Chain A
Amino acid sequence: MNFLGYKRPDGKVGIRNKVLILPTCACSSETCRIVSEQVKGTVYVSNQAGCSEVEQNLKICYDMYSGFAANPNIYGTVLLGLGCEGCTPQNMAEEIRKKTNKPLEIVIIQDEGGTVNAINKAVKYARKMVQDASLVQKEECPLSELFLGIECGGSDATSGLASNPVVGKVSDMIVDEGGSAVMSETTEFIGAEHVLAKRAATPEIKKQIITICKNLEEHLANVHQNLRTGQPTPGNKEGGVSTIEEKSLGCIYKGGTKPIVEVLDYAQMPTKKGALIMDTPGFDVASVTAMVAGGCQVIIFTTGRGTPTGNIIAPVIKVTGNSKTFKNMKDNIDFDASVVLNGEKTIEERGKDLFNELIEVANGKVTKAEAFGFNECSMNRICKFI
């Protein structure tokens, strides 16, 4: 089976064809918004950091924003910097060029002599890029080019019983086709890490899976936070998820059953293909953005309580295993997996249905979050600003 995608000069394949207006830091973020509002066919992501950062936070910023530019759904990028920020436009451009040879233009507000001149220049670049992007025709591409990100948020007890197992089936199908599927949220491995670790392709990967869980608990303990007092969330508990172990054991179903071939750091691009894990926090928005920075063209997001989260670069497909939520949050949920709970369909059958939905979205079908133009963006942090 094939899908229709946009072939990029770096060899990757996009399922959307957008021009990105990318801020290096908070100081150029609003200028990016104005540029994007003036040029149809562009998108922008906000940046609430990028300066006065410790080295580790700066690295996350470079990884994440260069990853957005390299995402295959992006045709090209207009990078907009202020000029004096810690996350420099030159370094950011270098990081982008390490990852991709796609079109890239740079505008620096201080060099242009203020916001109006910078907008003028960036709009001209963006208009040209959008026109060039419009000439790219969709082509038949094998499913091995797909890179799926798998997320869950607002879980309830149906997530572990219905939606996550159904998504796990899709993850396995993608891997069988030679593609990749990444599952994130280290918080939601805790209590199930011993089960997840059995899927590790090598003893080294098994060790990495246990270590990221251990490190996260220790990291939070450093700020006197017991992970168990924040997880599960009040909504999870009301939905029938009582402990982090119960939440995690249900969560890991969404990653399927295939051997895990690589454990990625936050917002890193993979070097291997197959079933992958990314070390991200349990905050769903900060996980989705990191997987998009890692190169996912599409996200499947399971929810029991119902959430609106979308992403401006990659379409997000919402799946619930809770029939009440599907009815109650119809504006937000794309796919109902609850039919596996009443025995109407098997997990296998509903997994195939969701796989077909995924192919339709790859071919251009607009998801509910995408139709709203939702643009949540959140970046993980190590510590305070300097």
Chain B
Amino acid sequence: MNINAIMLRPEDNVATVVNDVKAGDTVSFSKNGEQCVIKAAESIPAYHKIAVSDLKKGDHIIKYGQIIGGLTVDEVKKGCWISHKNIMSLPRNYEDEL
């Protein structure tokens, strides 16, 4: 089966689809060298993110092995579209970093 999504780090909980995906389509990506397959729960445009696990409000969204924001809606199921409509940036703590 063709790989049609990219997971950058094994700890990520989203993958990036590289073509337009429709609800019910199979999304396939490589994780730690192994092929993983999930079913898209809704349509997702090319280069957008798909949740690879069930997520709850406040959960950190991980891409590039780093936090890219927190979930702002009650829940998102595996296979759903992750976008600016359901995640939001988190404030920085520069004092701790300095």
Please give the residue numbers on chain A whose beta carbons come within 8 Å of chain B beta carbons, in ascending order. 156-158, 160-161, 190-195, 197, 207, 210-211, 213-214, 217, 228, 232, 237, 239-240, 242-246, 249-250, 304, 322, 324, 341-343
B86 nearest in chain A by CB position? A242
- Please choose the segment from B32-40, B51-59, B87-95 that sits at the chain A interface, where 4 or more of its residues have CB less than 8 A away: B87-95
Contacting residues, chain A, for B84 (C-beta < 8 A): 232, 237, 242-243
A253 nearest in chain B by CB position? B64
15 A-B pairs whose Cβ atoms sit less than 8 Å apart in the complex: A156-B47, A161-B6, A193-B92, A210-B97, A210-B98, A240-B46, A242-B49, A242-B82, A243-B68, A244-B89, A245-B66, A245-B67, A249-B68, A250-B64, A322-B47
A193 nearest in chain B by CB position? B97
B89/A191 in contact, CB under 8 A: yes
In the assembled complex, B41 has its CB within 8 A of some CB on chain A? no
Q: List 15 other contacts, CB 8 Å, given A213-B92, A242-B84.
A: A157-B16, A157-B47, A157-B48, A195-B66, A213-B94, A214-B92, A217-B92, A240-B46, A240-B47, A240-B48, A240-B49, A243-B87, A245-B68, A245-B69, A250-B64
Contacting residues, chain A, for B88 (C-beta < 8 A): 228, 243
Contacting residues, chain B, for A342 (C-beta < 8 A): 18
3 shortest interchain CB distances as A-B pairs = A157-B47, A246-B68, A214-B94
A243/B97 in contact, CB under 8 A: no
B89/A341 in contact, CB under 8 A: no
B87/A160 in contact, CB under 8 A: no
Contacting residues, chain A, for B18 (C-beta < 8 A): 341-342
Given A157-B47, A240-B16, A240-B45, A245:B90 Cβ within 8 A:
yes
Interface of A is mostly: helix
Q: How far is the CA of A213 from the CA of B93 in the complex (A)?
A: 11
Q: How far is the CA of A240 from the CA of B64 in the complex (A)?
A: 14
**Centre residue among B63, B67, B89, B92 by max chain A CB count within 10 A:** B89
Given A157-B47, A191-B92, A194-B97, A249:B64 Cβ within 8 A:
yes
**Centre residue among B45, B47, B64, B82 by max chain A CB count within 10 A:** B47
Q: How far is the CA of A211 from the CA of B94 in the complex (A)?
A: 8
Given A210-B98, A211-B98, A341-B18, A239:B47 Cβ within 8 A:
yes
Contacting residues, chain B, for A156 (C-beta < 8 A): 47
Q: How far is the CA of A130 from the CA of B88 in the complex (A)?
A: 54
Q: How far is the CA of A228 from the CA of B87 in the complex (A)?
A: 12
B6 nearest in chain A by CB position? A161
Partner of B92 from the list A161, A190, A246, A341 (CB cut-off 8 Å) is A190
Q: How far is the CA of A161 from the CA of B7 in the complex (A)?
A: 10
Q: How far is the CA of A372 from the CA of B63 in the complex (A)?
A: 38
Shortest A130–chain B CB gap in Å is 47
Q: How far is the CA of A195 from the CA of B46 in the complex (A)?
A: 27
Q: How far is the CA of A158 from the CA of B6 in the complex (A)?
A: 11
Q: How far is the CA of A322 from the CA of B16 in the complex (A)?
A: 13
Contacting residues, chain A, for B3 (C-beta < 8 A): 343
Q: How far is the CA of A316 from the CA of B96 in the complex (A)?
A: 38
Q: How far is the CA of A214 from the CA of B95 in the complex (A)?
A: 9
Q: How far is the CA of A75 from the CA of B94 in the complex (A)?
A: 44
B64 nearest in chain A by CB position? A249
Given A210-B97, A211-B98, A242:B83 Cβ within 8 A:
yes
Contacting residues, chain B, for A191 (C-beta < 8 A): 68, 89, 92
Partner of A242 from the list B64, B68, B97 (CB cut-off 8 Å) is B68
Shortest B16–chain A CB gap in Å is 6
B98/A161 in contact, CB under 8 A: no
Q: How far is the CA of A299 from the CA of B92 in the complex (A)?
A: 30
Contacting residues, chain A, for B83 (C-beta < 8 A): 237, 240, 242
Contacting residues, chain A, for B92 (C-beta < 8 A): 190-191, 193, 213-214, 217
A158/B89 in contact, CB under 8 A: no
Q: How far is the CA of A160 from the CA of B8 in the complex (A)?
A: 10
Contacting residues, chain B, for A245 (C-beta < 8 A): 66-69, 89-90
